[in-house]
Amino acid sequence: MLNFKIISAVFALCSTLVFSQNFKTSVTAKNGNEFPKINTEGKAEFKVHFPNAKSVVLEGGDGMQNVKSTTTKDPDGYWKISTSPLDIGFHYYWFNVDDKRTNDPNTELYFGYGQPTSGIEVSSGEDFFFEKNVKHGQIISDSLYSKITKGKRNIKVYLPPSYGTKRFPVLYLYHGTGEDITGWEKQGYINNILDNLFAEKKAKEMIVVIDYGVALNPQEEKMPDDYPRTVLSSKNIDKILVQELIPYIEKKYKTDSNKAIAGLSRGSYQAMLIGANHPELFSAIGSFSPVIYGGTELQPFKELPIDNLLKSKQKPFLFIGIGTKEDKRFLDYNSIIIDYLQQNRYPYVQYKSAGTYHEWLTWRRCLHEFAQKIFR
């Protein structure tokens, strides 16, 4: 009987160890931190120290909306939150601590939802955005003064591994609402995606200019934060890009004459707006999770001159990408654009990111696909 008890205890201990080993720390955790961690089923565990809190609730962005969680507090003031399975991808999240939004002190912070925000990465099994043993490009910070907005504009510039040996085409790239120029670098892993593609000879080396997605002069900044303000800002970006940014980039960096433009969410609208206004400038337009601003049911393209593409001689390559789990409004925008292109027999590529939301795994995948199809 004693031997049976010993064997049972050993079995229970081994089972516990196997289960605990099933959890791995998220890549978003700060060095040395165990939490947040995720198991192979996608279930996550968080552990945070809020000793004086009366309530701690897990909240988050698109990919966290349907997640259920249980919360317990130990005598030392540590709160442990366990969740139902999370979907794949990078998810913004935070804690509601006594009705105050609070970041997880265990993770790195990423600029999203208009402020530094915690993030968790649930593996999809892909490695195209991992750092590998290949030649690396570099991302540098730069800026220019804009007469249009009467102020300095910060940009990021990715230079490919072979930069300095010849001239390169340029992709102008935009982020989404509530994010900034750090998004494509930090959450988007653009340097790893492009480094790996170039090493595999799947894409042509290019310079990428990550421009800031808001452009308002001091007076315009006082406007209500609504669709008209976004449309005005996007039209200003059009002017800045053509009149100021492109000349600045072509003077300072070793570029050739080939240009493409792309963006995600709000940036997708900006890329389509600018690309449609100047089809002679851009050989390709990438719309990741497309959005249409300023339209009506009868005139969906009232503030998006997409018909210019139909009249253009060059016919820029058009790429439309969408996550299959995105909200209905984004799926509707995608359908409106695709239907229009089909009705007018304009060539395009539709890419669908399986199992992803209006989040960074969708946009990483879109960039990965788009980069392989341009400048060929």
In a structure prediction context, what are the per-residue pLDDT tens digits for the chain, which is 376 residues long?
Answer: 444 444 444 444 443 444 445 899 999 999 999 999 999 999 999 999 999 999 999 999 999 999 999 999 999 999 999 999 999 999 999 999 999 999 999 999 999 999 999 999 999 999 999 999 999 999 999 999 999 999 999 999 999 999 999 999 999 999 999 999 999 999 999 999 999 999 999 999 999 999 999 999 999 999 998 899 999 999 999 999 999 999 999 999 999 999 999 999 999 999 999 999 999 999 999 999 999 999 888 899 999 999 999 999 989 999 999 999 999 999 999 999 999 999 999 999 999 999 999 999 999 999 999 999 999 8
Tokens of 75: 């005598």
DSSP 245: I
Q: Which helix (H) or strand (E) holds 17?
A: helix 2-21
Prediction pTM value: 0.92
Judge whether 37 and 23 are in contact, CB under 8 Å.
yes
What is the rounded CA–CA span in Å between residue 184 and residue 360? 9
Go through 111-136 and write b for each residue having 16 or more CB atoms within 10 A of its CB, e for each that does not.
Answer: bbeeeebbbbbbebeeebbeeeeeeb
- Rounded Cα–Cα distance for residues 149 and 240 (Å): 9
Q: Are 261 and 171 in contact (CB under 8 A)?
A: yes
Q: Whole-angstrom Cα distance, residue 220 to residue 160?
A: 36
